[in-house]
Chains A and B, each alone.
Chain A
C-alpha cells in the first residue's frame, strides 16, 4: 500500500547550517506530497506541498521537489535558525483525501 519513509532523527545542527531531511514514498498512482511541521505542544501545520512530478513546494525558506524518478520529496533549507527547531513530517494523500504521515524527524538547531 501507499507509505512514506523519512529519515530518523534527531537531527542536530548549528544555526545557519544547511538542512536536508530525506523522505521517500511508495504509492500507486500519483499522490500529492506534503511537509508538515509540529512545534512543541502544538498540532501540525502545513509547511509546503507539491501535487505533481517536478513541482517544487517552498515556504519560509524551506523547499522540496517532487521527484517521481526517485520517489522522493526531500526537505531542504539553506540556513536554519533556532526557531526552526521542531518535528517535521512528510506526508502523502491517498484514497480520496486520507493522509499518511511519516514517523517524523526532530530537528534541533543550536545557537
Chain B
C-alpha cells in the first residue's frame, strides 16, 4: 500500500486567497509530481521534482508554484486563487529511474 498523503481532501476558498496544498510521502522516493485533473478526467503534469531543491515546470502551464526542501514533502502553492483554478490536484511519487508512480488521494479545490 502506498504511503503518500494529500491534505486537505476538499477545499472551498474565495477568490484572491493564498492556498497551499500539502503532499507528503513516507517511502523515501526521490521523484515527486503534481498533476491537475480536469473535469474531463485528463491528467496534466504541472510540476515535478527529481529531488531536494529540484523543481521543474510540467507540460501544462500553471500559475502555481512548488518547493522541495525535504525529500518527503512537496507542497503546491497558489498565491491568489481564481475560479479557473478549480480542479482536482493529484500528487505522486516514484523511486529511481524505473520506479512505479504512487498517487495520493487528491485534493479537490473549488474557488468561488
Contacts and interface: CB of A to CB of B under 8 A. Distances in A.
Interface of A: 32, 34, 36, 38, 41-46, 49, 51, 87, 89, 91, 93, 96-101, 103-104, 106
A56 to B, nearest CB: 17
Main SS at interface, chain A: strand
Contact of B43 (A42, A89, A93, A97): A89
Contact of A97 (B41, B99, B104, B105): B99
A49 B100 contact: yes
5 contacts: A38-B41, A42-B105, A43-B105, A96-B50, A97-B94
B28 to A, nearest CB: 15
Interface in B41-96: 41-43, 45, 48, 50, 90, 92, 94, 96
B34 interface: no
Interface of B: 2, 6, 31, 33, 35, 40-43, 45, 48, 50, 90, 92, 94, 96-106
A42 B10 CA distance: 12
Nearest to B29: A97
Given A32-B98, A51-B98, A104-B42, A99 B106 contact: no
